[in-house]
Chain A
Amino acid sequence: MDLSIFLILVQDGVVNGAIYALLALSLVLVFAVTRVILVAQGEFVAFGGLTYAALATGQTPGAIWLLGGLGLAAFAGGLWQERRRMRGGALLRHALFTLALPAAIIAATLVLAPRRAGIVVEVLLAVAIVTPMAPYLYRIAFQPLGNASVLTLLITAVALHLALTGLGLVFFGPEGFRAPPFSDAMILAGPLMIPGQAIWILGLTLALMLGLYAFFEKTLTGKALRATAVNRLGARLVGIPTAQAGVLAFGLAGFIGALSGVLIVPLTTVYYDGGFMIGLRGFTAAIIGGLGSYPGAVLAALLVGVAESFSSFWASAFKEVIVFTAIIPVLLWRSLRHGNGEDEE
């Protein structure tokens, strides 16, 4: 292997790793706030990518009907769960969030999609269509479980992944799609040719991470989310509605997933069930980082990305094997460090 191939592989790895880092961050966040290990995170990536691909070719994405359906289900579910408590203002807010919001997004899509409103509008629209799905799903699947064990929540997350994959097939069909890149520019840097899309990915990832950092460090809402993760009872005692914190965390996960999908669909063909394997890489990174550390997750994600690009060069058939079994030595190391293993959940 010569230097230029090496650099190209590193570049590939870093670009993919940036996406995995975003996903890993949102997995860590969702786990900290809700104790849910969001296996279904990858579905938001696939849905975001496919929705953008449809919009970018002037089609009306099927995802809007999925959005409407999930909103309706969340409305009904919320009404049922809180039938004794919800009234007046709370009911109105619930209806606005689960009925009016998707209705508005659907209407906007129906108007804008056929007109080719430009990349920025299409990106925003794709993200807007997919993002609210995540909090709706939290309402439907996780909120009723209350204080269930991490294991029950994990099984639920896997079940959700299963259902979403099937729904993806219904609403997007079995074919894969690819979208044109945001820009056709190429930047020459020594032996490297960096495509514009890669710059977009790295730039947006960095901006998003800085945005998240500012949100969690500087705003009271962000701190409230952290507080919920640190001490749930403490958070309730200062008046933070922890169920809403869960909705917010899922909203961020949906947003990050959808945006990741939009960013990668110009690079690779996305299929309705392709999100799982992408999500799983973010997930591997989150576990390697220890499921609790944000910088750890980002670093691990970059490593996963680079490991993936090198293994696809050397043994492309086994790249998945290499990427996923890498988790075992990490777990072993954590296990040895952990001591006598008599911890309670």
Chain B
Amino acid sequence: MSLLEITDLAVAYGGIPAIEGVSLSVAAGQIVTVIGPNGAGKSTLLNAIMGILPASGTIAFDGAALGTSDVSERVQAGMSLVPEKRELFASMSVEDNLRLGFYRFRGQGRAAMEAALAEIYDLFPRLKERRAQDAGTLSGGERQMLAMGRALMAKPRLLMLDEPSLGLAPRIVRDIFHTITALRRTGVAILLIEQNARAALQVADHAFVLETGRVTLTGDSATLAADPRIVEMYLGQARSAG
């Protein structure tokens, strides 16, 4: 059974549809990527799944329809989103940012929190070095690590990443993707939205292509990676013509 099952999802901004008729599923432990050009509605899709945007259609997590439940209830159910803008607590320390990621388990006591914190520091040693620093002073790559670390503190069963490579230098992008591959081994399912289509297709099991709010292609990543239509979608027909 799928962990996340989306059927016929639609979101509109002031009457103008941003995504329409989107159906997709993510199985437990699977990495699924949604790729597509800018403005195709990828971020809208994740925000709707997380409950930040109102949507029509059904979203079921672990077999239960989410309905109109609030973001915090979805976190409680085991979903985490790392948004495109990271949304860190800029004037709070790196460690406080991580501790707040543990909010879901706040009843479990100090030892449990310290253990979770140690795991994140293992995954991102860089964050441990910077633990006392304000999140707002971090570099772009460190911010992305912190955002992912904060989301992982909630021990989600589904982790959603919105353009984790956005605006980062190639070396850091490589690190981020290594981390994503490493996370697979912990059993967390990942729904990944990426502009960096090649890297995304390489780590993912399955992929969906979103164009102007609709799913236009779907298949396993290896097949899609070889599909010439992907290149055309990104660089435009001018390339295939020229």
| Chain A residues within 8 Å of B, Cβ to Cβ | 84-85, 220-221, 223-224, 226-227, 230-231, 233-242
B196 at the interface (CB under 8 A from A): no
A224 touches B103 (CB 8 A): yes
B50 cross-chain contacts in A, Cβ below 8 A: 237
Q: How far is the CB of B25 from chain A (nearest CB, A)?
A: 23
Total A-B residue contacts, Cβ distance less than 8 Å: 73
Q: How far is the CA of A337 from the CA of B67 in the complex (A)?
A: 48
Interchain CB contact (< 8 A) of A230 among B67, B92, B104: B92
CA distance A123 to B71 in the complex (A): 39
Pairs across A and B, CB under 8 Å, 18 listed: A85-B69, A223-B96, A226-B92, A227-B92, A230-B89, A230-B90, A230-B92, A236-B70, A236-B71, A237-B81, A237-B87, A238-B75, A238-B101, A238-B103, A238-B104, A238-B154, A239-B72, A239-B104
Indicate whether B225 reaches chain A with its CB closer than 8 angstroms.
no
Question: Which residue numbers of B lie inside 8 Å of A, CB to CB?
Answer: 50, 52, 67-72, 75-76, 80-81, 83, 87-92, 96, 99-104, 106, 150-151, 153-154
Partner of A237, one of B68, B75, B91: B75
- Interchain CB contact under 8 A, B92 and A220: no
Q: Contacts A231-B87, A234-B87, A238-B150 hold; do A220 and B69 have CB atoms under 8 A apart?
A: no
- Least CB distance from A197 to B in Å reads 38
A220 engages B102 (CB within 8 Å): yes
Q: For the complex formed, measure the closest distance between the CB of B105 and the CB atoms of chain A, giving whole angstroms.
A: 9
B residues less than 8 Å from A239 (CB atoms): 71-72, 75-76, 103-104, 154
Kindly report which residue of chain A lies nearest to residue B68, judged by CB atoms. Answer: A85
CB distance from A73 to the nearest CB of B (A): 23
CB B117 to nearest CB in A, in angstroms, measures 12
CB neighbours of B76 from chain A (8 A)? 239
With A230-B89, A231-B88: A237-B99 Cβ-Cβ less than 8 Å: no
Contact A233–B89 (Cβ < 8 Å): no
Contact B87 A220 (CB under 8 A): no
In contact, B68 and A231 (Cβ under 8 angstroms)? no
In addition to A239-B104, A241-B72, A242-B72, 20 A-B residue pairs with Cβ atoms within 8 Å of each other are: A84-B68, A85-B67, A85-B68, A220-B99, A223-B99, A224-B100, A224-B103, A226-B92, A227-B96, A230-B89, A230-B90, A230-B92, A231-B88, A231-B89, A231-B90, A233-B87, A237-B87, A237-B151, A238-B104, A239-B72
Q: How far is the CA of A226 from the CA of B83 in the complex (A)?
A: 20
Instruction: Indicate if the CB atoms of B75 and A234 lie closer than 8 Å.
Output: no
Query: CA separation between A149 and B79, bound complex, in Å?
Result: 30
Asked if A234 and B103 sit within 8 Å, CB to CB, the answer is no
Q: How far is the CB of A284 from chain B (nearest CB, A)?
A: 25
Give A234 to B72 CA distance when docked, in angstroms: 11
Taking CB atoms, residues of chain A closer than 8 Å to B52 are 233, 236
Nearest neighbor of A230 in chain B, beta-carbon distance: B89
The chain A residue sitting closest to B70, CB to CB, is A241
Complex Cα distance, B106 from A92, in Å, reads 22
Complex alpha-carbon distance, A188 and B57, angstroms: 75
Chain B residues closer than 8 Å to A242, beta-carbon distance:
72
Kindly list chain B residues whose C-beta atoms are within 8 Å of the C-beta of A226.
89, 92
Which residues of B lie under 8 Å from residue A230 when comparing CB positions?
A: 89-92
Residues of B within 8 A of A235 (CB): 89, 100
Alpha-carbon gap, A238 to B100, bound state (A): 7
Query: Closest Cβ of chain B: how far from A185's Cβ, in Å?
Result: 42
Q: A233 to chain B: which residues have CB within 8 Å? A: 52, 83, 87
| A221→B71 contact, CB < 8 A | no
Contacts of B67 in A (CB 8 A): 85
Closest to A239 in B: B75
Which residues from chain A contact B106 at a C-beta distance below 8 Å?
A: 220-221
**How far is the CB of A294 from the nearest CB of chain B, in Å?**
12
| Given known contacts A84-B68, A220-B103, A237 and B80 CB-to-CB distance under 8 angstroms | yes
The answer for the CA separation of A127 and B154 in the assembled complex, in Å, is 37
Contacts of A231 in B (CB 8 A): 87-90
- How far is the CB of B21 from the nearest CB of chain A, in Å? 24
Say how far B162's CB is from chain A's closest CB, in angstroms.
Answer: 11
A220 to B150, CA, bound (A): 14
Chain A residue numbers with a CB within 8 Å of B154 are 238-239
Min C-beta distance of B202 to chain A, whole Å: 27
CB distance from A238 to the nearest CB of B (A): 5
Asked if B100 and A220 make an inter-chain contact with CB atoms under 8 angstroms apart, the answer reads yes
Contact of B72 among A220, A223, A236 (CB under 8 A): A236
Chain B proximity of A86: nearest CB distance (Å):
11
Closest Cβ–Cβ distance, residue A293 to chain B (whole Å)? 12
Those 10 A-B pairs whose CB atoms lie nearest each other, nearest first: A239-B75, A234-B87, A236-B71, A241-B72, A230-B89, A239-B72, A239-B104, A227-B89, A233-B87, A238-B103
Bound Cα distance A226, B89 (Å): 9
B83 x A240 contact (CB < 8 A):
no
Specify which chain B residues have a CB less than 8 angstroms from the CB of A223 in the assembled complex: 92, 96, 99-100
* Alpha-carbon gap, A240 to B92, bound state (A): 16
Instruction: Give the Cβ gap from A160 to chain B, nearest Cβ, in Å.
Output: 26
